[in-house]
Structure 1
Amino acid sequence: MNKYLIIFLLISLTGCVAVKVTPESSSTAVSESAGVKRNLNNVRQLAQGMTRQGVEEIMGEYTAIGFKANDEVPGTYETITLKNPYREEILAVGEKQYEVIYYLSSIQLADGLVADDELTPVVFENGQMIGKGQDFLFKLKAGM
């Protein structure tokens, strides 16, 4: 009799399990890299001759990169976003000046930092896109 009681108690206790819902386990949550993948796909749509405004319309204003706990509403999460473009600079090569804007397009190491190899540069001359990508920027800087 005691043997059956112990088995019954063990079986009934296995039903007492707490489950914590996190963005990773929620089926409605966007994966951490979905926004970054979207940026990469959008970069592929960019073409020479586009204006900066046209590029920004395709790329959007923000990139979702993950989630954080919402302190105001326990048990919920907020999306962590980065502004698009992530960084901008003016590049002088010889007597020419180029506008370079950078978009987050990959996460090599989830360390909370954005490194240059995680960014895709988009280069403009006189308001028109002339190229994109690290290879293009490298060749431009080298004067090729």
Structure 2
Amino acid sequence: MTSSCRRFAHPVFLGPSVAALLLAAAGCSSTGAAPSIADPTPSAEAAAYCRALHKELPSTVAGLDRGDTGTKSELTAAWGDGAIVLRCGVPRPAKMEDPSSKAVEADGVAWMLEQPDDGGPLFTTTYRKAYVEVRLSTAYAHDASPLAAFAPAVRKTVPPSL
């Protein structure tokens, strides 16, 4: 998979504490409902990276234990009954074509930030051979620690696409 997300007009590379401030400024809705977890359908190459990532994911993120996603898929993972959801092998978001898209950097991994109307923030890795998506519930919308917690596993298993 290649990435042309180098088009970000204003990529922002931040440490975890500054990223938390950005998340606070992003705002969020008040739904608080656990997201629905759908399995992505990646290419064979991306699926291989996702399987490797799945084995490296932490058992605890932001004080939440890893839980059951309702599937046996190695493409999805959740912590805290869906408060934090990771999906690997998602399609390249169309928003990456938008030159006004915002990006954050957490512990060496770049993430594009989106703020859907139906919940907390949605982050998708950039410059990687497989796209990894992390959705935070509104309860964790102001906490950048999940992105930093995933960074070592992403760096180890999903190579850069540069």
Greater relative contact order (CA < 8 Å, ≥ 6 in sequence)? 2
- Write 1 or 2 for the structure with the bigger share of strand: 1
TM-score by structure 1 length? Answer: 0.29
TM-score by structure 2 length? Answer: 0.27
